[in-house]
A and B are shown apart, each in its own frame.
Chain A
Amino acid sequence: MIPAAFDYTRATTVDEALTALASSDDAKILGGGQSLLPVLRQRLNAPELIVDCSAIDEIKGIDAGGDKVTIGAGATHHAVMNDPAVKASVELLAQATETVADPQIRHRGTLGGSLAHADPRADQPPVALALDAEFTIAGPSGKRTVPASEFFIGPFETAVGEDELLVSVAFPKYDGWGSHYEKFNRTAQAWSIVGIAAAVRMDGGKIAEARIGLTNVGGTPVRATAVEQALVGASSMAEIAAAAERASDGIEPFADEDADVEFRKHLARVLTKRAVAKAAGIE
């Protein structure tokens, strides 16, 4: 469909973007446009001003210096999943990103756009949550950082304010961890019905530490802490399966055409078992 009319400006620096955002009380940032454009075209939203941030080079880089991998919000999915440092130290993010949509969309869509959009079905937010990423947000009064546990507030709602810009996301390094993203969908290009992000640190054939994030089982990504705790010490499929039973603890999934509440909870358990087993290399 045809979007409603809007004003448009293209920023080339973070400061320009912030100035533009401050100039209107109904402005929207445009990243890769892969979520925003469908929203505009269906006239679900009709902002006055679009601030195009896709030409801000300073938010596109990926920096692996120190003990973190810091990814610019404007890095495309394609750049993220092919970056050697991401693949080596935050493999789970690369794995989840590979499952997003199709190559055309992955060349346009950005990590920051996906995280800021906070679609409950999106595949990267639970990775950021499970891996304790740290979000750097720029606003009129400077930069601030927000931990992942405080970033996702509700469906399509995050800690980023109306006049702010997500600048980068820093992931601690998980070198040597095993990981797997288990996406469950109906066709290759479809969104997740449920997704499981799992990373484990193995020690002597046993799971020493686990991090599990769940996609699309509620309004925000969910950290499966009960499963994480129950997995410590697990070394067999049976133990993993027992721990994964707790994946539906405390979640409040919604129902849609693809899955009702009962089926979503069931999928959360079964897929958690599978994701952890693959991450741990246990059959």
Chain B
Amino acid sequence: MTETIDTSTPLGRPIKRKEDAKLLHGRTNWTDNIQLPGTLHMAILRSPYAHAKITKLDVTPALSRPNVIAAYGADELGDLNGSIPCVWPVVDDIVMPDFPSLAKGVVRHVGDCVAVVLATDPVHAADALEAIEVDYEPLPAVVNMQDAIKGGTLVHEDAANNVCYNYPFATGENYDDVKAKADVVVTRQWANQRLIPAFMEPRSVVAAPMGMSDEMTVWSSTQIPHVLRVLMALVTGIPENNLRIIAPDVGGGFGGKLQLYREEVLVTQLARKLGRPVKWTETRSEDMVATHHGRDHIQTIEIAATKDGKILGLKVHLLADMGAYLQIITPGIPILGMFMYPAIYKMDAYDFHCTGVFTNKTPTDAYRGAGRPEATYAIERIVDELAAELDMDPMELRKKNWIKHEEFPFTTVAGLTYDTGNYEAATAKALDLFGMDELRAEQKRRRESGDTVQLGIGISTFTEMCGLAPSRTLGALKYVAGGWEHATIRMLPTGKVELVTGTSPHGQGHETAWSQIASSILGIPVEDIEVVHSDTGRAPYGMDTYGSRSLAVGGQAIKKAAENLIEKARIIAAHQLECSPGDLEFVGGEFKVKGDPEKAQAIGAVAFEAFTAHNLPDGVEPTLQGEATVDPEDFSYPHGTHLAAMEVDTETGKVTLRKYVAVDDVGNQVNPMIVEGQVHGGLAQGIGQALYEGAFYDEDGLPLNANLSTYLIPAAPDLPSFITDRTTTPSTTHPLGTKGVGEAGAIASTPAIINGIVDALRPMGVTDVAMPATPMTVWKTIQSANQAAKGGQA
């Protein structure tokens, strides 16, 4: 079936995704599908210990195994054993230990790379790992952050007390002064547990030296081909101009592929050394221990308020688990969250402190939301606790403290200036869709009858910051790269369009949405626009895709590039139509002479003139294209109100999400269907954190559930049909009026779910439930509340 697309206004339409036919028919080009003649397959011997000395490593026995061509440990690899850089040293005195691709004498987490085997097929490479002779002397493992900072066993000799950095940040009035004026102070401690990104397509990388040139081409299942190119050049010493990075079809990332991984460096270095293509594709078992993890903060949060519910100040103390090494932006993740703890609330003082801690676990780094979900969880949970303490309705407390729509732009206590927002509108719509009054009535009935199944209502009125920019702000935060984005739009002689973007989609639907933006400006049908991306050879400039930045930042570049193209075309058209450029208006893809509509030239015709160059005005260069590199004015601040109705079976502890309403304000929408998809996926992941997911370790630092049969991810049958809607408060700092949407669902939903469970159980004396709220956790929480109640009576 073909859709009829009104090309005059493709913006804001739920056009079906261009990408999907290819994906659904299996005409995909995953990295692992790339088959180059002469390829060597790499297999990795990984540490089974969390912390150990390598007392013996002999790779030579592997060499006599069938089909094996080479094998290396750190010693054999020598200078090619590149170290992974950290590009976000958040403070001057941060400890940044060496992070070699292959461990040098000591392994520091289960999954650490010890040695590699290269064979002519993957099966024999895997088999030959068994032949490597390796002995370990196990060392005590640093697992728990609270113990780690007391000293004792060190993950790295140079990190005293296992501390990577300390980051204090206090803004507004003095917190202690403000606290002294408060009637109520509520303090809580929460574990925002470690999560595994668990994208669908495992990581895979192929590197091939191009025999006839100096070029090295690297295909990788990555979110960041452009950033990867810079980092790979720095790590390997391969001149950047000789490196071409291609991210072919990429099956999800969620931040987990916003990385330069050891395996990418190893494959590239070995392809160079051996002069042959080298390939590595991870197994799921490797992925669960070797792809970076997310979250893992212990949050101590304190809120001070007056007795009538005015929030005065907030104090946050974090322990943030870095894991065993720093990946590219590991230390920065909690700092992104730092700005978001005050969220939508007005207050006078904010006191933040974060300690980054090394442990013998997989390194952490960005995972959907990166810092903002942790912050949102803590603030939205403590606001509920404050409401309970004050015996106020949690929504009333929020209304009393949030920034009112007429107060925007508003500079928060954390120093961010929110351009726009309308929390009242999103909340009113959400309450309407939710049926709050009926649900509260049912909750009352269940409480009164002592029903086994109790009902709770969870609220999350979240905001977040996304599209990190401008670049100078990132510089001030000590982030080593910028926040700009690039687009080039090229009109081809046949009237088709090549839109080159620096964003790097891996499931988001940029090909469709970017075409819609360009189409709305150029008047060229969406299907005549090809979006070129994720290949540094074809799309040389870009900052890639993460942090809900692609539309918020990249969209601006597309708009500006299209406008630049039209300006050039206008000059050519005026010459053809024998009028001055100022006499032309551009409508529906045509230049028309004002007042003489018969005289017109379509943009495609202009493109052909620019191609033949037979009749161009003096001083105008042939070819028709527009380029723009945009550094946005500011972040964008999506927000929304999410409501969850939670059923808790008090006899078994099993929790059921009965109803979920998400009203998001992401500004103007380019394609509401894609927005919808982003919200749904984000919700599933945020709910996953609340109810199902968590990577846990035993006291020796061994992972307890590093597989998909025990690390549970919700699937369709585990989730209700979400009720979603939007309010539209266009961003004023973004020319398209758009904000980000990629992370919103994951940021908003976690506290809504836990607030709902606690609300259901509060009459029993429950004030907190640990995540993930498994049946056993919920049941034990109820048991101890019952015990406490009995103790109180005795």
Contact = CB atoms under 8 A, between A and B. Distances in A.
B709 A193 contact: no
Interface in A170-220: 184, 186-191, 193
Interface in B180-235: none
A259 interface: yes
Interface stretch (A61-69, A130-138, A264-272): A264-272
Contact of A190 (B123, B651, B652, B709): B709
Interface in B697-741: 704-705, 709-710, 712-715, 717-718
B304 to A, nearest CB: 37
A267 B718 contact: no
Interface in B755-791: 774-776, 779-780
Interface string A20-33: 00000000000000
A4 B127 contact: yes
B285 interface: yes
Contact of A42 (B285, B652, B712): B285
A184 B654 contact: yes
Nearest to B696: A257
Contacts of A186: 692, 712, 774-775
B283 interface: yes
B283 A270 contact: no
B122 A263 contact: no
Contacts of A249: none
B154 to A, nearest CB: 29
B126 interface: yes
Contact of B714 (A4, A184, A187, A260): A187
B712 A188 contact: no
Interface string A245-278: 0000000000001111001001100110000000
A2 B776 contact: no
Contacts of A42: 285
A188 B654 CA distance: 13
B651 A189 contact: no
Contacts of A4: 127
Contacts of B654: 184
Interface residues of B, number: 26
A2 B122 contact: yes
Contact of A187 (B126, B652, B712, B776): B712
Which of A42, A260, A263, A266: most chain B Cβ within 10 A? A263
Interface string B527-559: 000000000000000000000000000000000
Given A4-B127, A184-B652, A187-B715, A263 B285 contact: no
A191 B712 CA distance: 11
A34 B180 CA distance: 63
Contact of A271 (B123, B652, B692, B710): B652
Nearest to B284: A1
Contact of B704 (A257, A260, A266): A257
B285 A189 contact: no
A189 B717 CA distance: 9
A191 B776 contact: no
Nearest to A259: B776
A225 B151 CA distance: 54
Nearest to A193: B775
A201 B779 CA distance: 33
A258 B774 contact: yes
Contacts of A188: 715, 717-718
A270 B652 contact: yes
A270 B709 CA distance: 25
B779 A5 contact: no
A198 to B, nearest CB: 16
B450 to A, nearest CB: 15
Nearest to B121: A2
A187 B775 contact: no
Nearest to A184: B652
B709 A191 contact: yes
A193 B775 CA distance: 10
Interface string A52-64: 0000000000000
A2 B715 contact: no
B126 to A, nearest CB: 4
A174 B651 CA distance: 31
Nearest to B710: A257
Which of B652, B704, B709, B776: most chain A Cβ within 10 A? B776
Nearest to A42: B285
Contacts of A184: 652, 654, 775
Contacts of B710: 257
Contacts of A257: 696, 704-705, 710
Nearest to A38: B709
Nearest to A121: B709
A220 B651 CA distance: 26
A187 B774 CA distance: 10
A266 B710 CA distance: 21
A109 B790 CA distance: 49
Interface string B107-126: 00000000000000011001
A187 B718 contact: yes
Contacts of B714: 187
Contacts of B779: 263, 266
A257 B713 CA distance: 15
A5 B776 contact: no
A188 B704 CA distance: 21
A155 B285 CA distance: 24
Given A1-B283, A4-B127, A189-B715, A267 B652 contact: yes
Nearest to A267: B652
A20 to B, nearest CB: 23
Contacts of A267: 652
A190 B708 CA distance: 10
A263 B653 CA distance: 10
B692 A187 contact: yes
A184 to B, nearest CB: 7
Interface string B678-697: 00000000000000100010
Contacts of A187: 692, 712-715, 717-718
Given A1-B285, A186-B692, A263 B776 contact: yes
A270 B774 CA distance: 17
B123 A2 contact: yes
A105 B143 CA distance: 37
Contacts of B123: 2, 5
Nearest to B43: A2
Nearest to A266: B779
A278 to B, nearest CB: 15
A275 to B, nearest CB: 12
B776 A260 contact: yes
B638 to A, nearest CB: 29
A186 B285 CA distance: 21
A2 B712 contact: no
A1 B776 contact: no
A2 B126 contact: yes
Contacts of A2: 122-123, 126-127, 283
Contacts of B775: 184, 186, 193, 258-259, 263
Given A42-B285, A189-B715, A258-B776, 19 more contacts: A1-B283, A2-B126, A2-B127, A5-B123, A5-B127, A186-B774, A187-B692, A187-B712, A187-B717, A188-B718, A189-B717, A190-B709, A190-B712, A257-B704, A257-B705, A263-B775, A263-B776, A263-B779, A270-B651
- 6 closest cross-chain pairs (CB), A and B: A188-B717, A2-B126, A1-B283, A263-B776, A187-B712, A187-B718
Interface of A: 1-2, 4-5, 42, 184, 186-191, 193, 257-260, 263, 266-267, 270-271
26 contacts: A1-B283, A1-B285, A2-B122, A184-B652, A184-B654, A184-B775, A186-B692, A186-B712, A186-B775, A187-B712, A187-B713, A187-B718, A188-B717, A193-B775, A257-B704, A258-B774, A258-B775, A258-B776, A259-B775, A259-B776, A260-B776, A263-B775, A263-B776, A266-B779, A267-B652, A271-B652
Interface of B: 122-123, 126-127, 283, 285, 651-652, 654, 692, 696, 704-705, 709-710, 712-715, 717-718, 774-776, 779-780
